[in-house]
Structure 1
Amino acid sequence: MAELLETYACAPSTERGQGILISGDPKSNSILYCNGRSVIIRYLDRPLEVKVYGEHAYPATVARYSPNGEWIASADVSGTVRIWGTHNDFVLKKEYRVLSGRIDDLQWSPDGARIVACGDGKGKSFVRAFVWDSGSNVGEFDGHSKRVLSCAFKPSRPFRIVTCGEDFLINFYEGPPFKFKLSHRDHSNFANCIRFSPDGNRFISVSSDKKGLLYDAKTGEKIGELSSEDGHKGSIYAVSWSPDSKMVVTVSADKSAKLWEISDDNTGNVKKTLICPGSGGVDDMLVGCLWQNDYIVTISLGGTIYIYTASDLEKAPLELAGHMKNISALSVVKSDPQFILTGSYDGLLLKWVQGTGCYGKLERNVTSQMKCFAAVEQEIVSTGFDNKVWRSSLQGDQCGEADSVDIGNQPKDLSLALVSPDLALVSIETGVVFLRGTKIVSTIDLGFTVTACAIAPNGDEAIVGSQDGKLHVYSVAGDSLNEEAVLEKHRGAITVIRYSPDVSMFASADANREATVWDRASREVKLKNMLYHTARINCLAWSPDSSMVATGSLDTCVIAYRLDKPASSRVTIKGAHLGGVYGLGFTDETTMVSSGEDACIRVWKVTAQD
């Protein structure tokens, strides 16, 4: 059996030039955000506690708790809204196709009976409000000519709905049934976010024109604005009210968050400016915010979540980092203390410590995307899509200077001789390249299409996998290879090869969903019938004592096998990662870490079944 110990959540999906609208539930002190097809639930007072809802067929865009906290409505780019329970394994209650295009925002009515959603649609259908348990419409929403970026429901009677969007308009609707009442064109650029105050007296809109405007919640008339003195110098992407309705927090492309005191005469003056502790690059633009209980949450374009204590703003914020894209490589680095290193498709390297979570981003002076990497205690060797192999020293919590070598072909796989990691074997389509440091020792054409490779820890043997499913075993003599054996068992292209830590065995896996464990000395199959995945196997890992081997697949599952038991007594983790498992490692004999397409990392306790 396998027990989930920890989940290190992905970061919120962000887009340059666009805000993200996050929400939360004050009762459980949790927040909701989206990444890919996942909706992430995180708890502000216990950030390592994470839940993931992954039932959308298309990338999710926004999610909101119902007023009683029992239901969550989440929307996606296809215009679909799914309403599901926060307990009982996220049981699906209803699903509706609400708009013909992407949904950007949605809100519940304060009585929990209706939902309004807005976004992109065909014709003029950019906004729709409906009864959530029947799907029937509750009004007509005319007045917008372009995509509607944000909508809000007045939290008290008489009910009102307000919307804003790319046509610069603020529209005001009365109901139910809702009908157009009035429109304002006070903004001179995209109106990005609109929110009612919790007491139901006012609402505020913020825009890419750097302004925030205040309106009367009952009549819709403009009554004030945020002061331009000490105001934002860039587009304002999101706004959130304090629980007592006396202040708002705004976030901007100028990389700052500002707290504004809203006076009785409806002017807003800056009380505090929060500069997030990033490096000042584009990724430090702030695109989302939420004020919940005593927490102020801001989100950067790079996906970092900053959690401030509202009652003590001098205190440094808690930073939660994560991957935004598919994690393409994972390595457990056996140092003191031991840590987990993950690299995503977009080139981001993150360091994780079990029990702590993200330990920090490793800054690389390499901007290329990352395909795969291997890590030892003091060094990271990585390959990208630029035909280069990079070596970076690992100094403390950062990567040192990186050296690279262009091997003239797209690297397919990478393996280090762990006893002398200066020696690396890189596979390319036509053969392999031997590297010492960043010097090419030899490039060998093998005469077949290469798909995977592994080099023995002491560098005396290499195994190369081919497109036709054969494993070629070579002895390494200086800078050349001598073929010793060809092993035929697989019926699909070899995807991964790994030596066991005690070097007495090696394991291989293929695109036809089969894995095999081989005895290294006799080259006989040691564990067979490992054919329990339903799709390509992407990754493979050994436990430190060589007693267990685990495989991760495109079918979203991880399967662990014990060498002293038949393959049928395996441990299967179903749905380990939405979209597929791409990284696996062991931190000790029974603790396994996995990563995948969903940009999350999970730590599992695996105990063998009898």
Structure 2
Amino acid sequence: MPQLAETYACVPSTERGRGILISGSPKSNAILYTNGRSVIILNLDNPLDVSVYAEHAYPATVARFSPNGEWIASADVSGAVRIWGTHNDFVLKKEFKVLSGRIDDLQWSPDGMRIVACGEGKGKSFVRAFMWDSGTNVGEFDGHSRRVLSCAFKPTRPFRIVTCGEDFLVNFYEGPPFKFKLSHRDHSNFVNCVRFSPDGSKFLSVSSDKKGILFDGKSGEKIGELSSEDGHKGTIYAVSWSPNGKQVLTASADKSAKVWDITEDGNGKVKKTLTCPGSGGVEDMLVGCLWQNDYLVVVSLGGTISIFSASDLDKAPLCLSGHMKNVASLSVLKSNPKVILSSSYDGLIVKWIQGIGYNGKLQRKENSQIKCFAAVEEEIVTSGFDNKVWRVPFNGDQCGDADSVDIGSQPKDLSLALHSPELALVSTDSGVVMLRGTKIVSTINLGFPVTASVIAPDGSEAIIGGQDGKLHIYSITGDTLTEDAVLEKHRGAVTVIRYSPDVSMFASGDANREAVVWDRASREVKLKNMLYHTARINCLAWSPDNSMVATGSLDTCVIIYDIDKPASSRTTIKGAHLGGVYGLAFTDQQSVVSSGEDACVRVWRLTPQ
């Protein structure tokens, strides 16, 4: 069975004008964050050590470890909370419908018996506290008139709960059962986050009014503020206390994070301002932070996770990044197959190195959306939804100035002649366009709806697949195509075609879940009955020695076939990517890389059967 060797994690989902929550384990240096329907568990000691919980039916918003580290409670936009085990395949313990709308924050009580959740609700119900095993309510939470953005449980007895939100209020509740005690109106804008110190003696609220206010943990009275001297110049989205309760970390839209010393009497002054590397654009605004043992973790709007050392604040941070959206294509460089390039439709291209992980983003100047993507030595070719094909020179991790050509309609597929990559074949709805560099040398209307295409490495042949499932083989002379043969086997629209590395075969996949391997010389079917997916095939890849072909499907699986064995002796990787597999490539004979809708990239090790 293939083993999962590495996961290059997606980054947290972010949105403009809203903070995000990341939380840490009480027992280790694992952190939790959410992206789409996934909850990501990432080990800060080894960022390639990643697990993903993918059982939410709706996009997840927040996840937290229980105080003993054995359970995780995660919530989603539908108002559901799922409680699941951190061991043995994330067994589901309970699921409760807690609010009628999106849950923005949740916290466990220090004894691990209760959970408080807050967010959007109908009427006045923006907050609920319940027993984690039965779901029974343990209090009444009046006092908010609008969405509640954050909540916190006092970590020591007597128990208290504090909440804050879009009505500019910070509310304090005593219990259990919890009842409203008092309310503060010291903020003049949204209150984005509230957190108790580890010993429960104080709590701190931070707001879009750029202020942080400290309160007494037991009585709820205001005791002090974060100093405005050297303070944040923008919305403060998140706050996290140091383990000893003497300092806090804040993250702000002003693109900086700050470490504050908190005095005994409850005031704060800036100890150090942390700046994350970046271009200074909107995506560098900071929207989340966490103080996890010696790690200071901050997250930007663009999803970059910067990890500072609490014991050495002058040390440059380790930056981790990746995709936030569906990773639609992968490419492996021939000269160095350990280098993997992945692209997502939002225009991001990320460079990974097998065994190391994240190695940087390739910043293209045009930064347009990406629909099709191909990479050869020192050049990336992309097409987007703007009818243009871009050629971007890149060297290592720098992109040069790109050239583009407008082909006049939406590119459906894009293929380069690998031996002379200035020759490219781009398919459109009704035909193909041949490019040399960024010059259109011919536009050919084929008279049928084209769904996939590929050009031979030497540029002498093209195979074009149609909506009707037929494969049309054309020989290329100069700039003209001559139809040589039509192959009929597929019963659905052809979705992908790829030549084997030695060009003796080609493989095709269709929307009706079937793949076919053909002999190129005889044009006969070489491997048939490859009908094991349950949904459309999105991508396929050949192993370097031509002995295997891998297919990836909307059904979340990757299937690997051995060309010399019957299709029934296949190897299946189930649930490779939540939402579907969209990119596949082999880096060597024993490693296949996949990417998908869950914005992750994974490396699988194939053990010889």
Same-fold call, TM cutoff 0.5: yes
Q: CA deviation at 1:338?
A: 3.6
CA–CA distance in 2 between the matches of 1:12 and 1:533?
30
CA–CA distance in 2 between the matches of 1:355 and 1:194?
39
In the alignment, what sits opposite 1:579? 579
CA–CA distance in 2 between the matches of 1:130 and 1:356?
43
Q: What fraction of aligned residue pairs are identical, expressed as a percent?
A: 80
Task: Give deviations 1:497-526, integer Å, cap 9, x for gaps.
Answer: 000000000000000000000000000000
CA contact (8 A) 2:26 2:67 kept: no
CA contact (8 A) 1:26 1:293 kept: no
Structure 1 position 362 matched with structure 2 position 362: yes
Structure 1 position 308 matched with structure 2 position 314: no
TM alignment of 1:212-251, pairs within 5 A: 212-251=212-251
Q: CA deviation at 1:481?
A: 0.6
Task: Give deviations 1:528-568, integer Å, cap 9, x for gaps.
Answer: 00000000000000001100000000000000000111100
User: Secondary structure of 1:401's partner?
Assistant: coil
* 1:341 aligned partner, one-letter code: L
Q: CA deviation at 1:99?
A: 0.2
CA contact (8 A) 2:509 2:516 kept: yes
User: Secondary structure of 2:291's partner?
Assistant: strand
CA–CA distance in 2 between the matches of 1:234 and 1:449?
52
TM alignment of 1:112-511, pairs within 5 A: 112-336=112-336, 338-511=338-511
In the alignment, what sits opposite 2:73? 73
CA–CA distance in 2 between the matches of 1:590 and 1:230?
54
User: Secondary structure of 1:46's partner?
Assistant: coil
Task: Give deviations 1:91-140, integer Å, cap 9, x for gaps.
Answer: 00000000000000000000000000000011111000000000000000
CA contact (8 A) 2:188 2:209 kept: yes
Task: Give deviations 1:147-198, integer Å, cap 9, x for gaps.
Answer: 1000000000000000000010000000000011110111000000000000
CA–CA distance in 2 between the matches of 1:264 and 1:128?
32
CA–CA distance in 2 between the matches of 1:593 and 1:93?
33
CA contact (8 A) 2:31 2:42 kept: yes
CA–CA distance in 2 between the matches of 1:291 and 1:272?
14
In the alignment, what sits opposite 2:596? 596
CA–CA distance in 2 between the matches of 1:318 and 1:374?
29
CA–CA distance in 1 between the matches of 2:153 and 2:438?
60
CA contact (8 A) 2:431 2:449 kept: yes
User: Secondary structure of 2:48's partner?
Assistant: strand
CA–CA distance in 1 between the matches of 2:315 and 2:26?
22
Aligned length: 609
CA–CA distance in 1 between the matches of 2:185 and 2:464?
66
User: Secondary structure of 1:245's partner?
Assistant: coil
Q: Please, what TM-score do these two structures have when normalized by structure 2?
A: 0.99
Structure 1 position 542 matched with structure 2 position 542: yes
CA–CA distance in 2 between the matches of 1:351 and 1:582?
17
CA–CA distance in 2 between the matches of 1:23 and 1:332?
34
CA–CA distance in 2 between the matches of 1:608 and 1:275?
48
Structure 1 position 48 matched with structure 2 position 41: no
Q: Which runs of 5+ in 2 are unaligned?
A: none
Q: CA deviation at 1:75?
A: 0.2
More displaced 10-residue stretch of structure 1: 58-67 or 42-51: 42-51
In the alignment, what sits opposite 2:101? 101
* 1:147 aligned partner, one-letter code: R
User: Secondary structure of 1:261's partner?
Assistant: strand
User: Secondary structure of 2:351's partner?
Assistant: strand
User: Secondary structure of 1:568's partner?
Assistant: helix
In the alignment, what sits opposite 1:524? 524
CA contact (8 A) 2:337 2:588 kept: no
CA–CA distance in 2 between the matches of 1:334 and 1:12?
31
CA–CA distance in 2 between the matches of 1:448 and 1:138?
65
**Cα-Cα RMSD:** 0.7
Q: Which runs of 5+ in 1 are unaligned?
A: none
* 2:559 aligned partner, one-letter code: I
More displaced 10-residue stretch of structure 1: 426-435 or 365-374: 365-374
CA contact (8 A) 2:26 2:68 kept: no
CA contact (8 A) 1:451 1:495 kept: yes
CA–CA distance in 2 between the matches of 1:274 and 1:12?
20
Q: CA deviation at 1:337?
A: 6.8
User: Secondary structure of 1:370's partner?
Assistant: coil
Task: Give deviations 1:4-33, integer Å, cap 9, x for gaps.
Answer: 100000000001111001101131210000
CA contact (8 A) 1:454 1:498 kept: yes
* 1:313 aligned partner, one-letter code: L
CA contact (8 A) 1:571 1:608 kept: no
CA–CA distance in 2 between the matches of 1:595 and 1:517?
22
CA–CA distance in 2 between the matches of 1:15 and 1:356?
29
More displaced 10-residue stretch of structure 1: 329-338 or 131-140: 329-338
User: Secondary structure of 1:283's partner?
Assistant: helix
User: Secondary structure of 2:521's partner?
Assistant: coil
CA–CA distance in 2 between the matches of 1:565 and 1:534?
21
CA contact (8 A) 1:562 1:608 kept: no
User: Secondary structure of 1:128's partner?
Assistant: strand
Task: Give deviations 1:304-328, integer Å, cap 9, x for gaps.
Answer: 1111110011111111111000001
CA contact (8 A) 2:337 2:587 kept: no
